[in-house]
Structures are given as structure tokens and as C-alpha cells.
């Protein structure tokens, strides 16, 4: 029987709701409310952080309703794999919001009640991130599903989550179109980020869709080829983006002080030069993850593995049910 028809009992669902989902809802709601109460003083970074906390709150609420109402039987895939995937993204989102909000906004606030609110919001965001990590790590134990395969508990899945998440952060910086519209080479970099994000998302969705009837080796080759198609363009972006952004010969600005938008040190907005630097760093991080992913799949293809989701390749060594043996 496919794992999509195996679900935890009502007692386990209630336990997860009271000890994880409800604290997650509370933490994200408090963080959102504290920053919203600051009014116009919250700045662009505050609005950005609020949007993420709001999304996490809304998604957690929807997942809680689906679980409590037993609506997951209507989904054509294993619902709890989706829950773990969302928890991975939520943990990364809340952690990123905590870090960025604190280093780009909180530290510049003068002694004022609003500063205390901003610090409290950051703390609750960190708490939410920890709660989501606990959900990812303990899904099997919480739901008493030790014999069920969770795709997100494999190295390949975590790499895909990180690749798509980093790409999402890059897109957030690229919302400032003035960073790249003046150079065709930079527009190519943006196209690379978009195409590679789509390829990674496709692989993630295929695995979440429980393609258990696919032959292991052809699907491994398919993922190897997609990863290779991502690595090569990313290498070009890793060269072109810093070259055209920070080299005077190509119209870039090698020093931060040369960017007039960075003159105001007390600005709550991230200036253009800092955004370009952030994109360059994130490009390098994502390229590294794609290369690790490429090595991983090259190894799987070379040894002709029949179960890439087995214990040695999993982040947590749980027993895997027979239903998961043909997923990849």
C-alpha cells in the first residue's frame, strides 16, 4: 500500500498541535504583531520580516486545520511529506528574518520602547525557528511513523530545499531591478537564477509526489543531468555578477563608499552595493550546494544504487519501509 494512505492517529495529531503547531502560531503571531505596532518606524526591513512571519503563521494555520479535520485523505500525495517540507522552509525563513532584522535594523535603533519591541520580535522569531526545526527532526517520533519514508530526511532533499531557499533570498534582493537591468550580462545572471530555481523545484515536487514506480537508475540519471544543467550556468553567474558589479572596467563600483545610496549609515534600507554583495555571496553558496548535489548524484549513478533514500544517505538513520524502496 502506498505511504500516502498511511496516517497518524488522532492522539498524535493533537499532541503535535498542542506542543508544536500552537507555539509556532503564537511565536509568529507575536513577532508579527510587535513589529506591526511600530507603525512607520518599522521601515522596509520590518515590512519584509512581517510578510515572512505572516506567511509562516498562515501556512501553519492551514496545515493545522487540515490535520485536525483529517482533510489530508483528499490529497493525491503523502500529506506529511509536505508538512516536513514546509517546516524546513519555515525554519529557514524565521531564522533568516531574525538575523537580517537584527543586524540591519535593531542595532541602529536608539534606546526606546520600540527597540525593546524589535528585540522581542527577533526573540520570538528565533523561538519559531527552533520549533520548526524540532518538527522536522521529530516528525517520525511525534506521529509514531518510524516505518514510513520521509523524503525530506534525505541529503538530496535537504540540498534541494536549501538551493530553492537561497534562490528565493536572491530573488528578494533582485526585486530591485536597478541592480541588473543596465547590463545584458547581469540579466543573464537573473535568468540563470530563475531557470535553476525552476529545475530544483521540479525535482523537489517529483520526489514529493511519490514517484515510487519509477526505475531508480533512470531517475538518478535524470536528477544528475538536471543538477549538471544548473552547475554550469551558475559558474558563469559566479564570474559575471561580481565582474560587472564590482569592476570599474565593466562599469561596477569596487568600493562601498562609491555608491551614493550607502552614504546614510543610519538608513534602515539595504543599499544597492550591499544588495549586490549579498547576491554575489548567495550565488557562491548556492553554487557550492549545487556542486555537492552533483557529486552526490554522480556517486549514486556510478554505484548503481537501488535505494538512494536508505539509511547511509539519510540525515537521520531511521528504518525505511518497503514502499520507499522504489521512490528514486
The better pLDDT of the pair 142, 32 is held by 32
Q: What is the pLDDT of residue 319?
A: 40
Are 216 and 328 contacting, i.e. CB atoms less than 8 angstroms apart?
Answer: yes
Q: Please, which residues have CB within 8 angstroms of residue 68's CB and are 6 or more apart in sequence?
A: 13, 14, 17
Q: What is the pLDDT of residue 10?
A: 76
Rounded-to-integer distance, Cα 294 and Cα 234, Å: 13
- The stretch 127-151 carries a mean pLDDT of 75
Rounded-to-integer distance, Cα 81 and Cα 165, Å: 17
Nearest partner of 75 among 173, 2, 183, judged by Cα: 2
Q: What is the pLDDT of residue 140?
A: 63
Which of 30-39, 105-114, 173-182, 278-287 ranks highest by mean pLDDT? 278-287
- The stretch 20-28 carries a mean pLDDT of 96
Ranges 13-22, 165-174, 252-261: which has the least confidence: 252-261
Q: What is the pLDDT of residue 282?
A: 96
Calculate the CA 91 to chain-centre distance: 8
Rounded-to-integer distance, Cα 47 and Cα 25, Å: 19
The three grid cell numbers given for residue 177, joined into one nine-digit string: 531591478
pLDDT at 264 over 90: no
Q: What is the pLDDT of residue 148?
A: 53
Nearest partner of 121 among 44, 43, 47, 27, judged by Cα: 27
pLDDT in tens, 190-231: 999 999 999 999 888 888 776 544 555 677 888 899 999 999
User: Where do the domains of the chain lie?
Assistant: 1-148, 153-328
Mean residue pLDDT across the chain: 82
**Residue 135: how many CA atoms within 13 Å on its side-chain side?**
34
pLDDT at 52 over 80: yes
**Residue 164: how many CA atoms within 13 Å on its side-chain side?**
18
Distances 181 to 31, 148, 176, 253 between C-alpha atoms, Å: 35, 48, 10, 16
The three grid cell numbers given for residue 71, joined into one nine-digit string: 482533510
Which of 92-101, 212-221, 245-254 ranks highest by mean pLDDT? 92-101
pLDDT at 21 over 70: yes
Q: Please, which residues have CB within 8 angstroms of residue 197's CB and are 6 or more apart in sequence?
A: 163, 164, 167, 168, 171
Q: What is the pLDDT of residue 94?
A: 96
pLDDT at 41 over 80: no
Q: What is the pLDDT of residue 303?
A: 81
Q: How confident is the model at residue 152 (pLDDT cuts 50, 70, 90)?
A: low
- The stretch 154-182 carries a mean pLDDT of 91
Amino acid at each position: 500500500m502506498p505511504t500516502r494512505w498511511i496516517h497518524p492517529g488522532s492522539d498524535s495529531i493533537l499532541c503535535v498541535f498542542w506542543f508544536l503547531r500552537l507555539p509556532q502560531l503564537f511565536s509568529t503571531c507575536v513577532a508579527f504583531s510587535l513589529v506591526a505596532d511600530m507603525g512607520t518606524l518599522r521601515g522596509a526591513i520590518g515590512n519584509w520580516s512581517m510578510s515572512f512571519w505572516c506567511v509562516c503563521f498562515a501556512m501553519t494555520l492551514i496545515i493545522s486545520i487540515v490535520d485536525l479535520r483529517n482533510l489530508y485523505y483528499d490529497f493525491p500525495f503523502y500529506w506529511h511529506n509536505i508538512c516536513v517540507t514546509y517546516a524546513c522552509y519555515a525554519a529557514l525563513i524565521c531564522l533568516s528574518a531574525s538575523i537580517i532584522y537584527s543586524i540591519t535594523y535593531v542595532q541602529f535603533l536608539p534606546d526606546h520602547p520600540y527597540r525593546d519591541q524589535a528585540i522581542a520580535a527577533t526573540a520570538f522569531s528565533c523561538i519559531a525557528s527552533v520549533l520548526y526545526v524540532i518538527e522536522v527532526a521529530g516528525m517520525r517520533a511525534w506521529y509514531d511513523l518510524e516505518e514510513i519514508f520521509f523524503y525530506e530526511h534525505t541529503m538530496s532533499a535537504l540540498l534541494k530545499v536549501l538551493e530553492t531557499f537561497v534562490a528565493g533570498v536572491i530573488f528578494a534582493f533582485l526585486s530591485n531591478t536597478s541592480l541588473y537591468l543596465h547590463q545584458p550580462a547581469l540579466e543573464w545572471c537573473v535568468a540563470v537564477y530563475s531557470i535553476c530555481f525552476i529545475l530544483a523545484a521540479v525535482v523537489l515536487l517529483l520526489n514529493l509526489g511519490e514517484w515510487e514506480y519509477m526505475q531508480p537508475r533512470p531517475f538518478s540519471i535524470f536528477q544528475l543531468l538536471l543538477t549538471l544543467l544548473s552547475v554550469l550556468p551558475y559558474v558563469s553567474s559566479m564570474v559575471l555578477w561580481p565582474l560587472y558589479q564590482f569592476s570599474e572596467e565593466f562599469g561596477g563600483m569596487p568600493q562601498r563608499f562609491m555608491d551614493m545610496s550607502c552614504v546614510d549609515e543610519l538608513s534602515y534600507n539595504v543599499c544597492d552595493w550591499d544588495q549586490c554583495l549579498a547576491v554575489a555571496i548567495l550565488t557562491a553558496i548556492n553554487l557550492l550546494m549545487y556542486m555537492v548535489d552533483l557529486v552526490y548524484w554522480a556517486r549514486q549513478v556510478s554505484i548503481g544504487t537501488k535505494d538512494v533514500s536508505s539509511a547511509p544517505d539519510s540525515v537521520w538513520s531511521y528504518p525505511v519501509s518497503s514502499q520507499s524502496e522504489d521512490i528514486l
